[in-house]
Amino acid sequence: MVVNVSEAKAQLSKLIDLVYHGEEVIIAKHNLPLVDLVPHRIKGKRVLGVFEGAAIVPEGFHNEDEDFNALFYGKSS
C-alpha cells in the first residue's frame, strides 16, 4: 500500500495497525516513494562494560589541592 504524506498524517494509527499485522506500507511525497513503515525489531541485548578499562583514573584524583581551590573559592583565612 502506498500513501502520500498528508494521508499518512491523517491515518497514522490505522497505518501502524496495518503494518503491525503484516501489511507493507510505503509513504510517498508527490507519488515518489520515500520511506517504508516497518515494525520495530529489537537489535539484540545491550552489552554492558564495553569500555571497561578504557579510562585510567590516576592515584590521588580525588585529593584536593589548596592552590587549585583558591582559584575557584578564594583564599581561605
Q: How far apart are CA 77 and CA 71, in angstroms?
A: 14
**Order of strands across the sheet with 32-37?**
2-4, 25-29, 32-37
pLDDT digits (tens, 9 = 90+) for 52-72: 888 888 888 888 888 888 888
Q: How far apart are CA 4 and CA 34, in angstroms?
A: 9
pLDDT at 32: 95
pLDDT at 76: 64
pLDDT at 53: 84
- pLDDT per residue of the chain (77 residues) written in tens, 0 to 9: 999 999 999 999 999 999 999 999 999 999 899 999 999 988 888 888 888 888 888 888 888 888 888 888 887 65
DSSP lists the bridge partners of residue 33 as 28
